Structures are given as C-alpha cells and as structure tokens.
Amino acid sequence: MEVKTKELNRMLKEFLSDINNIKSKLNGDIYNFKNLLSETVYNLPEQICKGLNAKSKILSKKEFTIAMEALEQCKSYLIMMEKMKMIPTMEVVKKVDKINDILIKSIS
C-alpha cells in the first residue's frame, strides 16, 4: 500500500481551505450548511493521519474508509449548494474526488 503522502497532505490542506472559504460566504445560512460542512470535515485530517500511521493494513483501510465516507457526505452538501445556486462548489467537488481516488488506490 503506497500512499502519495505529500500530494495527499497538499490536497487536503487546499480542500480544507476551500471549505473554510465556502463557509465564510454562507451568511444567513438557513439550511445550516456551515455547520454541516464543519461536522463532516472536523475529523478528516485525524482520520487520514491514523490511516497513514496505522500498524496494520486492516486498520489503515478502516481509517481511510471512514475518511472517504466523510468526504462523500461533504461532497453531497457541496452538490446541494451548487444545485440550489447558493455558491459555486464544483471545483471543490473535483478535489474531493481526487482525494478519494488517492485513498481508494491506497486501500486496494
């Protein structure tokens, strides 16, 4: 299992920065997307770090799977915001897919 750690860290930092930027633009958020996004990405860096430093392949797969689940939930919220024309989010959705691709390759 080889994970592109530097690339993954760079992409994760960029993604989290994008999420913070989106949250800052959600004034009067009647749908509570600001909190939903925060909740989905809150443990993401920790889960990925645990996956990278896991003592066994099975523990690594478990942590990466949890991280991918959080990314997919975040992606769903981003797509909803795009469809509701609240804020453009498709570039961030693409980043979610790229991060997921790296994680998927690392557990296969």
Domain of 75 in residue numbering reads as 5-107
pLDDT of residue 3: 60
Which pTM value belongs to this model? 0.90
DSSP-based three-state secondary structure for 35: helix
Across residues 57-68, what is the average pLDDT? Answer: 94
Q: What is the pLDDT of residue 2?
A: 56
Tokens read off for 11: 């992409």
| pLDDT greater than 70 at residue 15 | yes
- Here the CATH number for the domain that contains residue 13 is 1.20.1440.60
pLDDT above 90 (res 59): yes
Domain count for the chain: 1
pLDDT for 33 beyond 60:
yes
Burial status of residue 17 (CB atoms within 10 A of its CB: 0-12, 13-18, 19 or more): exposed
Nearest to 1 by CA among 45, 71, 69, 62: 62
The DSSP annotation for 74-95 comes to HHHHHHHHHHTTSS--HHHHHH
